[in-house]
Amino acid sequence: MWVWVISLLPAAAEWPARCRVFNPDFFEQAERDFLPFHGLTPWDSQRAKNLCRSSGQACFVVQVRNGQVFISEEQPGFQSRNRLTMAMLHRVSTKFGPLPDAEFVVDTSDGYAEIAAPIFVISKFPGSAGGILYPDFSSYAWPESECPSEAPGSHVWSQVLAKMAEVPSWSEKTDSLFWRGAATSTYRRQIVPFLASLEKSNVSMMEWVIGPEGQRQVVSSGSDSCIPIHEWCQHKFLANLPGNTMALALKYRLFCGSVVLSSPFLYHEWYYSQLKESEHFMAFDLRWSGADEVLKELRGPSKALAEAVSMNARRWAQDHLTDDGFDCYWLRLIHLASRHFPHPQHTLHVIPLESVMLGMRPVQSASVDVLIVIPSRAADYQLMDHARSTWLRSGHKDGVSHRHFFVIASADPDFELLQIGGVSPHGEDDVLVVECKHGYTQLLQKMVAAYRTLLERYTVKFFIRADVDSMLPLQFLLPLLDHAAAGRCLVLLSESSNCGHIRPRWQMPAIGHLQCQVECAMDRGCHYFHVSPDGDCATFSQCVLEMASGKVFQYRMRGLLGEHAQRPLESPRRPFVLGTILHGNKVLTNDTHNPQWNNLLYRHDLGLGVYPPYPEASGYAMSSDIAAFLASVGTGALSDLSWNAWAIEDSAMGTILAGLKFDMLQLPAEIREHIRDIAVVVRCPAQSMTNDSCEVILDECHIIADSIASVYENVGIYKRPLQARLNTLHLTEDGYRWAEGQLGMVPVHRRAALKFLKSLVKMLLGESALWDESIEHDEIFKDVPDMGDPCSVPQEPISEAESLLQTSRDRNERRNAWAARIARYFAYCVDGGIMGERFTFPLLIQALGRVSSADVDRQMKEVIDFVLHVNKRDGWKSNLFLEEKPVSLIAMTKESEAFAEYSFNDIIMRHLVSEGYVESELKKRPPGAGLDYADLLAQLLTDESVGLGLRTMVCRHVLDMLGGTNDREDTKFEKTVKQLVPALVKVMVGSNHILMSYATASLVNLSCGRQNMKQLLVSHGVISMCVKQLKTKHDELTLYTLFLLVNLTKTPHHRYIVVREGGVPLLVDILTSSYQNLRKQRILAEVASVLGQLCNDPETRSLITESFPVVPCLLWVNDAAQPNTKLKSKLLFALRQLCLLGQNKLKVGPHIIPVMLEELALANWANEECATNLVLLLVSLASVNTNALLMADQIKASLETCGILKDGLPAKNNKLANHLWPKVEALLIRIGDARAAQGDF
């Protein structure tokens, strides 16, 4: 078993005949693309939709429900890409009938490699885990690529194929190299002049512009003009050059019957994995090295090879790049999306696909009166369920429409808990997933993102913001909102109230734009607001208490919001914030019915299942203007606004006092360690809280808050302390990135870093090692001198610090640490911190391989050693770089014991390993000169001081190393395994589930088909560790553990260890807790496989049958599982093993035989394993006469339908019949015997 093997083929009944002509390999890329997204949660799906909204890329969201295709959202695309892609989907829908329910995001831009999201993309890097490739718009039509001389519609795919149905024979073609295209990339501009200089070449770039209707208009002429596609086929050799990303025209070239000569496929399209070098195309490196010689060879001695390659490419294209090929691939993608992705949730904002194609745009926003926004964490799922079932359902009022959303950050680590109880029982999409750059706990950032998203989706009058552990009286709060917006909302407070007109501080101005703040008290006697026809808001301390006279308080509007473009001041509807507060004398006493912390009587009075840590009235309402103001925080004129208002809480007493209850915009963790934003928090122990002390504390809070918040119109963060931390280089890479991106702040040493970077660029360009030659002339390098030797640049900031260090006792330690921080900052700048993707550390490593000068090579390796900055772990008592004793990567690995004594830059080491630099350098050493590559990886894996990112990358690297076929098993491989296995085992006993999953997956690949390796793993106690891992509630780790157990339970001794270690109850627990959740079908399949293998032993078989409810669970899952799937095959195998016991045959037979006979009719050779297990189970069950008689009437019809029988005889030339006939024959004989025993001849 390999980790990446998975079969999700649709059942034969739902897979059209015109798609069965394609081999399963044709869909391999689709299966592989979906693997990272199996079991996708609704929250991951929401992130993908958010990415479509916020990325600025052309995309749209597809929903398939009840067989009809809808578009729910669309971001306009370039030219006609969106509409043509939708046209393909429409053709698939009409050709193949009702499609399965699914929802997915389609990106129609050129595609980018780093998109690690479940989004359909046109192209991506070959190694990218993200993105799902699909047949792009040009597979339907590409009108914008038509030459001016061509008739409209020439580039509809069917028209292209018609014109290319007949192409010149090989002997009739011109013996030239042809390419025509646009200068859409720097690479093309660099390589085209070289190709044009080759003998017998017709290579040039055409100039074109986009016309008013999006069509391409060629403005070049002569030999540089646009050439119709079918005329390309007149040439024997066609060059293929990547454009902005991929080259969409490759599929045209394959049809020509010419030899395609291609640069490396830097970006892959959906079908590239099917193409084989030297069979369908000839490959060159990026520089086209040796192109002259290769072309001469293909024109001369190897012309037969050239002709064969051209014909192979054309035949493959004619068989696969057809309308049926595109549509069947799309059909497979939709089936996979249906099985991997969450089912689409009903939403009002969709319109049929056909309507969009006719020009109707998806509804971008719906109208709703009130949106209730509840910031939450995934761990709050029980509180979310409680809110749904209580106060969120109680606020329905005629004429007031409202919706609620729980706001969850996409980075929330507990998303899996939401699958337990975080989904609305009514199927309502009420969880809003937002991106929070600086952590899922940053409350205001979460709310700002929520307001932005919701204001884009909805036209809304009011927002209500509530805590997840609150209970708001919506039935009384909702009618207040129109009164508040009209400026008629009054507050009448009793003389005995602790707040209001007797509190002079409450009349002071508050920050923000506040028209009317309403503070009402609620107590046990009433629990409601009273609203008079005139808009008066009254509250009673007792239900029968006569309303006392009071005073109306209003906070006047400030200019800040009044100048906001969203709402002019003269608007008839006034911006407002309506606050609610639970505030009364009885809160501060021992009253058994008031909301003091952990007051069980209070909880009982409210009928709550959980105790609310805040009062049920904790929340506030606002007009959409206020929400729009908050949504603009961090942008434009409000980019420096970081602190909006003040809040004072005493959660121990369950009371909240608030001005505008907006929390602070938090800084990222890297900065928050050194700089604090301002919060006003005054707390007092509950036992010391009296009326008098409360008065004093409240006065203190008001004075502090007003003195800070009410003086200035705009409040920003304190930049001077942050600049000091930047100048001393105390931030991490994320901190530098945030400070520059959000605040435009950089360290004073950035200029030194620019000198360092420019010296590197100059050296590499001098060696022609960089493709982007324009980088040297970038504006950022203006007036930056070239220092020649990059390693001389760090001396500048080191020397500047000498005067500051003076003669302090810890001078050396501080100086050494300073040098290390310089190296880390320079490393950050080299790795995209200044130039972004144009110059990164991986690009530097790749360029190093193209350097020919020994002196430059030496200097570049000195740079690598500097940014890696190997140093001893001695508390900065030394710095080997300053002491001019730098330790290189090679020197660090001389002794395994000494390796742990050094520290280094994890990010740089990660790049060095992933780019193959470390392996290459270590191979240059003589044997026995120190740690070899496998030893180094083992050290990195097990060293707890190494960062999680580096260890995770090493785990993935090891996973790839240990995969492959057994022909790699030589002495070197055996040695590598013995070095890595102890390290992987050590990782397995750790606590990080991600690392444990990768380590387990590596052992799965290692143990596949290698008996000696299985024995090695068992000797290291791996089976015992697998049993322990089954106790974790982590789906991915559980799945890989089951994969490994499948490999390790092939022999009796290994199965005995699993049983002895207590594996059977754990396996049964996984089965019984998952069998009703078919979203976990991968786990269920492997559980069934392991249980089936354990049942090879009679004792275990009896134990499982007599002590656990395994048979009923397997039967339940089998009823729901799709035929001809891996899950079905493993279930049949497990049931067959259990049916070796006669008692199980009697239980299983009557339940399963009718279904099995229907599924036998669907059997096919592509799913041979499933068919074999089905027949073997029928044979086992038929040993009981009653079971055999259940099969008698239908067995032959099923065998005829699947092709095993033909006219009552074994079918000839049928692989399935040849393979299964001995077993089928034995089954038919047994059924005949059973009928004879009944006297039925």
**How much is the pLDDT for 594?**
37
In sequence order, the 6+-apart residues with CB closer than 8 A to the CB of 878 are: 816, 871, 872
Distance CA 815, CA 239 (A): 57
Q: How does strand 402-409 pair with strand 216-218?
A: unpaired
Task: Give 912-933 pLDDT, tens digit per residue.
Answer: 888 888 888 888 777 766 677 8
Q: Which two tokens stand for residue 553?
A: 């308080």
How far is the C-alpha of 1144 from the C-alpha of 1138, rounded, in Å? 7
Report the alpha-carbon distance of residue 624 to residue 485 in Å, rounded: 10
- Per DSSP, the three-state class of 747 is coil
CA 1212: distance to chain centroid?
Answer: 49
> Measured between alpha carbons, how far is residue 943 from residues 488, 897, 928, 956 in Å?
67, 12, 22, 16
Listed residue (384, 347, 345, 380) closest to 366, CA to CA: 347
Alpha carbon of residue 1121 to chain centroid = 27
CB distance 522 to 587 below 8 Å: no
Q: How far apart are CA 614 and CA 719, in angstroms?
A: 35
- CA dist 1202 and 1205 (Å) reads 8
**465 touches 622 (CB < 8 A):** yes
- 1077-1101 residue pLDDT tens: 656 788 889 999 999 999 999 888 9
Amino acid letter for position 1019: S
Helices (runs of H) and strands (runs of E) counted in the chain: 52, 28
Query: Angle at CA 1072, nearest 5°, toward 1067 and 1078?
Result: 105
Cross-strand pairs, 102: 64
To which residue do tokens 């409209």 refer?
152
At 65, give phi and psi (nearest 5°).
Answer: -135, 130
Give the number of other CB atoms < 10 A from CB of residue 1003: 32
Looking at residue 2, what is its pLDDT? 39
Please tell me the distance from the alpha carbon of residue 69 to that of residue 356, in angstroms, as a whole number.
11
- Rounded to the nearest 10 degrees, how much is the dihedral formed by the CA atoms of 495, 499, 504, 509? -140
The token duo for 525 is: 């006697």
φ, ψ for residue 1005 (rounded to 5)? -60, -40
Half-sphere exposure of 966 (CA within 13 A, CB side): 8
Tell me how crowded residue 1137 is: count the other CB atoms within 10 A of its CB. Answer: 24
How far is residue 1200's CA from residue 1214's CA, in Å, rounded to a whole number? 12
Tell me if residue 236 falls in helix, strand or coil. Answer: strand
In the three-class reduction of DSSP (H, G, I as helix; E, B as strand; rest coil), residue 373 is classed as strand
Listed as ranges, residues in the chain with pLDDT below 50 are 1-13, 113, 420-422, 425-427, 488-575, 579-617, 636-681, 683-689, 705-715
Q: How far apart are alpha carbons 883 and 888 in whole angstroms? A: 14
Block residue for tokens 């001369």: 300
> Taking the CB of residue 1108, how many other CB atoms lie within 10 A of it?
18
In which residue are the tokens 């008689």 written?
1189
Longest Cα–Cα distance of the chain, Å, equals 110
Q: What is the pLDDT of residue 33?
A: 87
Residues sharing a CB contact under 8 Å with residue 1129, sequence separation 6 or more, in sequence order: 1085, 1167, 1169, 1170, 1173
Residue 172 bridge partners (DSSP): none
Q: Are 944 and 990 in contact (CB under 8 A)?
A: no
Beta strands 1209-1210 and 1205-1206, pairing class: antiparallel
Taking alpha carbons only, the member of 458, 435, 460, 454 closest to residue 446 is: 435
The C-alpha atoms of residue 222 and residue 305 are separated, in whole angstroms, by: 33
Tokens of 130: 């993200």
**422: buried, middle or exposed (CB in 10 Å: 19+, 13-18, 0-12)?**
buried
User: Rounded to whole angstroms, how far apart are CA atoms 787 and 761?
Assistant: 11
Burial (CB count <10 Å: 0-12, 13-18, 19+), residue 32:
middle
3-state secondary structure of 881: coil
CB atoms within 10 A of CB 1057: 19
Q: What is the pLDDT of residue 602?
A: 41
d(CA 272, CA 29): 9
Angle in degrees, CA 315, 319, 323, rounded to 5: 135
Q: Supply the pLDDT for residue 702.
A: 53
CB 381 within 8 A of CB 422: yes
Residue 1123 near residue 1159, CB atoms below 8 Å: yes
Alpha-carbon span 1170 to 8, nearest angstrom: 13
Token pair for 1218: 């040849």
CB 487 within 8 A of CB 515: yes
Q: What is the pLDDT of residue 135?
A: 92
Q: Summarize pLDDT for 96-119 with one digit per residue, the tens.
A: 878 888 989 998 887 654 556 788
Distance CA 172, CA 641 (A): 72
